[in-house]
Amino acid sequence: MVYTAKIGPSVLSSDLSQLGRECERMMECGADYLHLDVMDGPEQWVKPIAAAGANQYTFHLEATTNPGNLIKEIRESGMKVGLAIKPGTTVEELAPWARQIDMALVMTVEPGFGGQTFMEDMMPKVSWLRSQFPSLDIEVDGGVGPDSIHKCAEAGANMIVSGSAVVGSDDPRSVIALLKNVVIEAIQKRSLDR
């Protein structure tokens, strides 16, 4: 297994009038990466986001008619590739692309706005991906926080996007540390169980 625990606060939940400061604050609190949601047109943003310094670009399978071309364009722009699926999309629809991407994102809410309730019934998708593609980075996004992290980690997610639970916390450093520790423990347990 080559994947590691990574926690990425979602800047969607930040004070957008202080975005630069909020990003710095999250990194100072122990974030491994920052997660930025762009709600429209995955193809048009590849080059601008690469130019802005992003190292990974994740797009929704449902938002493009040609995933293969978009994967190629993202790679050629010097970024890693993530592929996301909404709750209504089966994991089998993502599977044909799994060996061409660096990360699979299983949405645990309907994409579009923050503060939704975590959908535990998405965890079988995560488990299936982990069993089929053991070294793939698997991310979850939506309603993930201290109350739901154990379910995500046990299912096999190693990249955790958390918005309001981290950014809205009085102590983001502690929340990030808690999320990360739960994922690390689950990775270690999975390694011992093999």
**Whole-angstrom Cα distance, residue 101 to residue 156?**
17
Instruction: List the catalytic residues.
Output: 37, 141
For residue 45, the Cα-to-chain-centroid distance in whole angstroms is: 18
Query: Contact, 173 vs 19, CB < 8 A?
Result: no
Closest CA to 179 of 146, 134, 156: 146
DSSP string, 149-181: HHHHHHHT--EEEESHHHHTSS-HHHHHHHHHH
Residue whose structure tokens are 């660096």: 102
Q: Strands 103-107 and 137-141, how do they pair?
A: parallel
Q: What amino acid is encoded at 38 in this protein?
A: V
